[in-house]
Structures are given as structure tokens and as C-alpha cells.
């Protein structure tokens, strides 16, 4: 059902957010290799969330009809927000690398 897909999307996006925040904390502690690995995990989760959304979009494009679902709309908002956060965290980690390099 659309609600179960929405929940899958929210769970994976939430996992991605948590992993990206962990990666940022590791980068602040100059643990860049660990940080990169956490970001890879985060990316894997956000891809799973995106794939869940894509299932619905492709089904609709194929003629399946869904009633409006506030939960699915929330899930899409969450995916978009977390994707933006992840992109920003990637950039912040790069800035931290430069800052720590210049401070040594």
C-alpha cells in the first residue's frame, strides 16, 4: 500500500540523516576515513528511500491511481530535506578537511 511505501521511505531517509550526522561528528574529530564510510552508509539509505519513491512514481506513470496521502507527501518532504542535508554535510566535511589541514 502507499502508506507502507511511505513508511519505508521515511525510515530509510531517517537512517540516512542519522548516519550523515554521525559522519559529520566523526569529521569534527578529524576521523575522516570513518566519516567517509558513514557517508557511504548514509548514501545507501537515501538511495533506498529514493527507490521507494520511484516505485510509486513509475506505477502512477503506468496508469495506477493513488488517493492523495498526507503520509506519502510527508515522506517525500522528508526525502527532499534529508537529501539536501546530506549534500550540505558532504560540503561541510570538505571544509573541515581544508580547515584542519591549514591549522597544522
The residues carrying an active-site annotation are 74
Residue 77 is labelled as binding a ligand: yes
Give the DSSP H or E segment for 6. Answer: helix 2-28
The span from the CA of 70 to the CA of 15, in Å, is 21
Residues annotated within a binding site: 77
Annotated binding residues for Mg(2+), as ranges? 77
Amino acid at each position: 500500500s502507499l502508506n507502507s511505501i511511505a513508511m519505508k521511505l521515511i525510515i530509510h531517509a531517517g537512517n540516512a540523516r542519522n548516519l550523515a550526522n554521525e559522519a559529520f561528528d566523526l569529521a569534527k574529530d578529524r576521523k575522516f576515513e570513518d566519516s567517509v564510510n558513514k557517508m557511504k552508509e548514509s548514501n545507501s539509505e537515501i538511495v533506498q528511500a529514493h527507490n521507494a519513491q520511484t516505485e510509486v512514481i513509475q506505477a502512477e506513470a503506468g496508469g495506477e491511481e493513488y488517493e492523495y496521502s498526507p503520509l506519502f507527501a510527508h515522506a517525500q518532504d522528508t526525502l527532499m530535506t534529508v537529501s539536501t542535508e546530506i549534500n550540505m554535510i558532504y560540503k561541510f566535511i570538505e571544509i573541515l578537511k581544508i580547515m584542519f589541514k591549514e591549522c597544522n
